[in-house]
Amino acid sequence: MITEFTKDARQAIEDRLKGIMGRMTLAKKDMAEVEKELRSSLYEQAESAATERGSATVTAEDVEKVCAEERPPGEIASCYIKTYLPNLERAGFWPKAVAYAIDSAILLALQLICIYVALKLIYPGTFVESLTDAAPFVVTLIRAFMAVTAFCYFIFLEVRFGKTVGKHLLGLTVLKADGARIGYREAFLRNITPALGFYQVYVILDALAMLVFFNHDRQRAFDRVASTIVVCPGSHKQLNNGERYGIKTNAYLGGIGGRLAAFRAMAAEATGLRKHLLVAGKIALLMFTVLAAILIIVMGLFIGTIFIYLTYAIVTTGTIPADGDPFSGLETNLWFSTIVTVLQNIVFVTVAAIFLAVVDKKPLLPGGPMGRILGQAARWFALGVLLDSAVILSYVAFVLVTGLSAVQANGLWTYATDTLVFSIVMTVVMTLSIGIGEEVFFRKYIQGYLSEKYGIAIAIVVASILFTIPHIDPFTTMEAPLAYFGLFIWSLAVGYIYAVTGSIWACIGFHFFEDLVLFSFPAKEALFGVKPILLLSGTEDIVLFNVAVGGPEDVFNIIVLLALLAGLYLYNKNRRMVLKRPETA
Amino acid sequence: MQSELDKWIKELRKGSTKLAMLTLLEERDMYGYELTKELNTQTDDVFELLDSNAYPALHLLESAELIKSYWKDAGPGMPPRKYYSITPEGRALLEEMKKEWKKHSEAMEKMWNNRKG
């Protein structure tokens, strides 16, 4: 006899399954297996219920009857979790600490916004002023507010979802020690230190208790009190029957390396919102690391230079120089700007290399004979220079030929030959380092990483946005919007060159030559202490609705770049059609 | 009184479910639902095992390598079934368990008979 299932019956079975699986926290592999098993069981039970009443059609009522005889979904789920508990890996110190740091940041941001708004209403002035003006009881009130909101945040999220935002991002879940979901009692007890010990020593003591006393169970002291555990269902614990779960041996042996591997595996499998959040988080971390490193190094160089300058002045004159601003003149000192630029781009390359090697565990350099690699690199570099010369030289020619810009000064007549040669050498060093640094960072790493995740189109656009933003310099006068838009289009073109040629050296050549020409033929004033070959006068901006949007040369530049993009697109299309060669990655 | 008895019966079942499952699987391979149904009918509902109880118990047996599982297609319109089969280790343990069980129940009988006599 063939049994039929009505659509409603199938739906009822899936609803029931969803109810049970939604309350389950198991290793991913186990989840799939359990779901399959439970589905099969529900179908069998429903079928036999229908057979019992002499029908060959299983209806939703049969499914409901079966469900009524069984226990509620939560109990079934916790029964499973209990048996599978040994398969779940306990979260260690680092994932927990990172999750807590993320939660603290979110919480603090929310709290500060509330406090700021509330204080603004009572006390005028800046945030710091109003904080210092605030009466002592207000400070107590603020502390109480922070503790209460922290409690609410942790307790509500952990009871409702079994995890906080930080734990979710790191793939952690809080459970009772026997595997059941935690209730308000457990959530309250285990969060006494995280909520009250905000920025205080108790949290550290609590975590230390875990490392010293309860490291076997990976419980903090207050986890012990609440009898709760934190697990990471994304990774599997190495078991004697590990192969059955398809676990690679050695992958999850613990330690920071093991956890990173587990995190990497989790990130690789992530889908939907979690995938986007992880990608965004990684890019944010990357940008932050680069920014911090550059600031520290450049600041260090500034302070070092000033220190040497002052020491020199004191030693030679015996007094502290009274000419005030020791920073003045540095930005037009060619030595200084070359060193800063080279250091900055060493940071770009180093950070990209660290991320590639440590975070992604990928090889740093391509394999193969060195001579061939260098030869290819040189050819791609030359091609990049050639492509860019069409763009940038036509740009310079455009402003001169149309008379939009005139030659203000000719460096060839103004400067002595040795001064000019020195300037050109330094400019080449500077622009070559910019080409290498920015292209390796924005194109090779960011665009390469994003194209693995989302494909080439999205990768080029996002990498170009990330490339354009740091070029908007808030410290000097803002350039016209069209100039920034032009830079964005320029970045798209370079990104597309990378996608088409597959060689970062083509992008480096392109970028290097662009900056070399821009530095050598600047408009209005010399840049970074470079002695210009030709100093051009600026052009008049077009004014639309009282906003200076940019000059005609910006429009021309964008048109040329769009033409280049179109040309590259057609070339790539034809090449693939004629040669049918797989695109180099 | 009733709840004390319930508690004791629960413990008794917990201890004997493993033995009953291995006994059934010794005969032939079965899928989860078939196993619980057989268990209930063959023991006249003494066991009254729910499906949701049986699967975790089977999983524990499997991770102890006493039984193995494999997926097999069921009839049309039905999802595939997960069949369980006993391993040589499971068989060996079952023999030992049976011996122990008999020893215990005989000892009990003997105690009660002695009282009567």
pLDDT digits (tens, 9 = 90+) for A357-408: 777 777 777 666 778 888 888 999 999 999 999 888 888 888 888 878 778 7
**Best CA proximity match to A498, nearest among A487, A489, A508, A488:** A508
Instruction: Report the pLDDT value the prediction gives residue A321, as an integer from 0 to 100.
Output: 60
Instruction: Report the pLDDT value the prediction gives residue A500, as an integer from 0 to 100.
Output: 87
Instruction: Report the pLDDT value the prediction gives residue A552, as an integer from 0 to 100.
Output: 82
| Distance, C-alpha B33 to centroid of its chain | 13
Long-range contacts for A26-29 (Cβ within 8 Å, ≥24 apart)? A26/A80, A26/A81, A26/A84, A26/A87, A26/A88, A26/A233, A27/A84, A27/A87, A27/A88, A27/A89, A27/A233, A27/A234, A27/A235, A27/A236, A27/A245, A28/A233, A28/A234, A28/A269, A29/A236, A29/A245, A29/A246
What separation in angstroms does the CA of A416 have from each of A334, A409, A524, B101?
16, 14, 21, 107
Instruction: Report the pLDDT value the prediction gives residue A241, as an integer from 0 to 100.
Output: 34
- Residue written as tokens 């002045």? A313
Partnered with residue A173 across adjacent β-strands are A231
* Cβ-proximal residues to A228 (8 Å cutoff; 6+ apart), any chain: A174, A175, A176, A177, A182, A186, A189, A190, A219
Chain A residues in contact with B37 by the CB 8 A cut-off are: 48
Q: Does A27 touch chain B (CB under 8 A)?
A: no
Interface size A-B, in CB pairs within 8 Å, comes to 71
pLDDT digits (tens, 9 = 90+) for B58-83: 888 888 889 998 988 887 778 888 89
What separation in angstroms does the CA of A13 have from each of A68, A195, A208, A462?
13, 41, 47, 43
Reading the block at residue A523, the tokens are 């408009």
Q: Average pLDDT over chain B, rounded to whole? A: 86
Q: Which of A20, A36, A40 to mutate to test the interface with B (most CBs of B within 10 A)?
A: A40
Instruction: Report whether A516 contacts A431 (CB < 8 A).
Output: yes
**Best CA proximity match to A279, nearest among A475, A432, A451, A443:** A451
Name the minimum distance, in Å, from the CA of A81 to any CA of chain B: 9
Taking CB atoms and an 8 Å limit, are A48 and B37 in contact across chains?
Answer: yes
Partnered with residue A176 across adjacent β-strands are A228
Average pLDDT on B2-11 reads: 83
Q: Would you call A438 helix, strand, or coil by DSSP?
A: helix
DSSP secondary structure letter of residue A532 = -
ipTM of the complex: 0.83
DSSP A535-578: EEPPPPPEEETTEEEE-HHHHHHHHHHHHHHHHHHHHHHHHHHH
B31: enclosing H helix or E strand? strand B30-31
Rounded CA gap, A273 and A288, in Å? 22
Q: Which residues of B, range 49-108, sit inside 8 Å of A by Cβ?
A: 50-53, 55-57, 59-60, 62-63, 65, 71, 74-82
Q: Would you call A473 helix, strand, or coil by DSSP?
A: coil
Taking CB atoms and an 8 Å limit, are B31 and A44 in contact across chains?
Answer: yes
Instruction: Report the pLDDT value the prediction gives residue A261, as an integer from 0 to 100.
Output: 65
Instruction: Report the pLDDT value the prediction gives residue A385, as an integer from 0 to 100.
Output: 93
In this prediction, the residues of chain A whose per-residue pLDDT falls under 50 are 235-255, 577-585
Q: Which of A3, A24, A44 to mutate to test the interface with B (most CBs of B within 10 A)?
A: A44
pLDDT beyond 90 at B94? yes
Sign, Cα dihedral of B21, B24, B27, B33: negative
Instruction: Report whether A513 contacts A395 (CB < 8 A).
Output: no
Long-range contacts for A268-276 (Cβ within 8 Å, ≥24 apart)? A269/A28, A269/A234, A274/A168, A274/A169, A275/A453
Neighbours of A346 (CB within 10 A): 16
Rounded CA gap, A378 and A494, in Å? 17
The pairing of beta strand A57-58 with beta strand A4-5: parallel
pLDDT digits (tens, 9 = 90+) for B20-33: 899 999 999 999 88
Neighbours of A312 (CB within 10 A): 11
Instruction: Report the pLDDT value the prediction gives residue A575, as an integer from 0 to 100.
Output: 66
* Cβ-proximal residues to B1 (8 Å cutoff; 6+ apart), any chain: none
Reading the block at residue A276, the tokens are 């986007």
Average pLDDT on B50-59 reads: 80
Q: Does B31 touch chain A (CB under 8 A)?
A: yes
**CA Rg value for chain A:** 32
Neighbours of A492 (CB within 10 A): 21
Instruction: Report the pLDDT value the prediction gives residue A325, as an integer from 0 to 100.
Output: 57
Q: Which of B10, B21, B52, B69 to mutate to test the interface with A (most CBs of A within 10 A)?
A: B52
Reading the block at residue B49, the tokens are 């095992």
Chain B residues in contact with A1 by the CB 8 A cut-off are: none
CA triple A123-A128-A129, angle to 5 deg? 45
- Cβ neighbourhood burial of A255 (10 Å; 0-12, 13-18, 19+): exposed
Nearest to B77 among A4, A38, A83 (CB): A4
CA triple A215-A221-A226, angle to 5 deg? 115
Chain B residues in contact with A37 by the CB 8 A cut-off are: 32, 55, 82
Nearest to B79 among A2, A39, A80 (CB): A39
Instruction: Report whether B63 contacts B89 (CB < 8 A).
Output: no
Name the minimum distance, in Å, from the CA of A237 to any CA of chain B: 13
Q: Does A248 touch chain B (CB under 8 A)?
A: no
Residue A146, φ and ψ in degrees, nearest 5:
-65, -40
DSSP A290-332: HHHHHHHHHHHHHHHHHHHHHHHHHHHHSS---S--TTTTGGG
pLDDT beyond 80 at B95? yes
Rounded CA gap, A224 and A230, in Å? 11
Q: Does A179 touch chain B (CB under 8 A)?
A: no
Q: What pTM, to 2 d.p., does this model score? A: 0.48
What separation in angstroms does the CA of A320 have from each of A69, A278, A301, A304, A317?
91, 52, 20, 16, 8
Reading the block at residue B82, the tokens are 């997960």
Instruction: Report the pLDDT value the prediction gives residue A581, as an integer from 0 to 100.
Output: 39
Name the minimum distance, in Å, from the CA of A85 to any CA of chain B: 11
Name the minimum distance, in Å, from the CA of B44 to any CA of chain A: 18
Rounded CA gap, A508 and A513, in Å? 8
Taking CB atoms and an 8 Å limit, are B50 and A70 in contact across chains?
Answer: yes
Rounded CA gap, B17 and B9, in Å? 12
**Best CA proximity match to A495, nearest among A469, A467, A517, A516:** A467
Q: Which residue does chain B place closest to A87, by CA atoms?
A: B63
Sign, Cα dihedral of A302, A303, A307, A310: positive
Instruction: Report the pLDDT value the prediction gives residue A253, as an integer from 0 to 100.
Output: 36
Instruction: Report the pLDDT value the prediction gives residue B76, as an integer from 0 to 100.
Output: 77
Instruction: Report the pLDDT value the prediction gives residue A580, as an integer from 0 to 100.
Output: 36
Nearest to B56 among A44, A48, A80 (CB): A80
Residue A549, φ and ψ in degrees, nearest 5:
-85, -20
Instruction: Report the pLDDT value the prediction gives residue B102, as an integer from 0 to 100.
Output: 93
Chain B residues in contact with A239 by the CB 8 A cut-off are: 63
Instruction: Report the pLDDT value the prediction gives residue A505, as an integer from 0 to 100.
Output: 92
Taking CB atoms and an 8 Å limit, are A36 and B79 in contact across chains?
Answer: yes
